[in-house]
Amino acid sequence: MKKESISKLISEIETEWKTEGKPQRFVVELETGEFVEAELLTVLEIGEEEYAIYSIPGKPGKKDILASRVIQDENGYDTLVDLDDSAVKETIRKFLEETMLMGGAPTQQA
């Protein structure tokens, strides 16, 4: 994806990461089977799919940034699933890289 495309993607993002002025938090299960609290940073729309960008505790004093595809389960609740499309992974990686170069975390985008 070209740099102009990433810039356009960033400018068209709808951030949905705050609920009533507070960051949205939820629990995710890691590959290790451990459950940790995550904080939603933003939701990206790529094509007709939504992708949650969120942070979890990392090394002391740091956070890890993860991304998952958002789908609705049979009861209509949002559920996160692993990314399986390498093109989407690359688009998200470039978005995060460019966002960081623009002066901050994804949560600073409007």
Quick check: 92 and 64 in contact, CB under 8 A?
A: no
The proportion of the chain whose per-residue pLDDT surpasses 90, expressed as a percent, equals 39
Q: In this structure, which long-range contacts are made by residues 68-71, counting pairs with CB atoms below 8 Å and at least 24 apart in sequence?
A: 68/28, 70/43
Both tokens of 56, joined, read 């979890």
Helix (H, G, I), strand (E, B) or coil at 44: strand
Predicted confidence (pLDDT) per residue in 1-47, tens digit? 444 444 444 444 434 444 456 788 999 988 899 999 999 988 899 98
Mean pLDDT, rounded, of the chain: 78
The total number of structural domains that make up the chain: 1
- What confidence score (pLDDT) does residue 31 get? 86
The whole domain housing 13 covers: 3-108
Interstrand relation of 63-72 and 78-81 (parallel, antiparallel or unpaired): antiparallel
Name the DSSP letter for residue 33.
S
- In this prediction, residues 68-80 reach a mean pLDDT of 92
